[in-house]
Amino acid sequence: MQIESVNFSKEYAREAINITLMDLVLIKDPHKKILNGIFRWRLFLAFSTLWTVVCFYYLQKYKEIFFVICFAVMLVMTVMILLYVIWAARGLKELQRPGRHVVWNLDTEGIRYRLDDAYEIRLFWENMQCLRIVEHGMFFIPKKKGKGNIVALPVEHLNAVTGFLEENGVNIKTVYGNP
């Protein structure tokens, strides 16, 4: 079965990014509440920046090696969090960009996600933990991080996907909603 889509809603794009930012948590427990990932990481960035400034202040005041180490660690953490926030924001803009051509192929082996003929993900049914269905999207979540990435589809295709899974005897646990 093949599903094609060109444009995504803003709500679906936000859900997809939030799920992606929580992939390690959802692989461990697919029933976890989906949080606003971009907001959370921006909050981490604000606290990290604040602590970097505090460490820099104490470094200037006391000039001890302890504060040099604290400042260096906080600066590296702040830069890493900043890059992660930029990556997430850029991903959100990319998903919302008009004209994105996405193709999902479901077959007896698994699901293949192809974006603009440039990027492809393959997730096999035996490596799949569950299908998480939320308000604007549905997400195939793998059993382990190394066994594949989360594959997202707009919820408009829910009936076609669940029909395909039932028709082909694919047994995947389904998790509904955002508790």
Q: Is residue 125 assigned to a domain?
A: yes
State the pLDDT at residue 169.
92
Residue 108 located in a structural domain: yes
CB 89 within 8 A of CB 17: no
Q: 116-136 as b/e, with b when 16 or more CB fall inside 10 Å?
A: eeeeebebebeebbbbbbbeb
CB 147 within 8 A of CB 156: no
pLDDT digits (tens, 9 = 90+) for 89-112: 898 888 888 877 889 999 999 999
**Tell me, what's the pLDDT at 66?**
93
| CATH code, 154 | 2.30.29.30
DSSP H helical ranges for 6-36: 10-21, 23-28
> Helix or strand or coil: residue 100?
coil
pLDDT of res. 145:
82
Which pLDDT belongs to residue 162? 93
Q: What is the pLDDT of residue 179?
A: 62
For residue 36, is it within any domain? no
Q: Check if the beta carbon of residue 27 is closer than 8 Å to that of residue 119.
A: no
The secondary structure of residue 136, as a DSSP letter, is S
Number of compact structural domains in the chain: 1
81 domain residue, yes or no: no
48: in domain: no
| Residue 130 belongs to some domain of the structure | yes
What domain range is 128 assigned to? 2-8+99-176
- pLDDT at site 91: 85
Using an 8 Å Cβ cutoff, are 95 and 16 in contact? yes
Residue 118 belongs to some domain of the structure: yes
15 found inside a domain: no
For the chain, which residues score pLDDT lower than 50? none
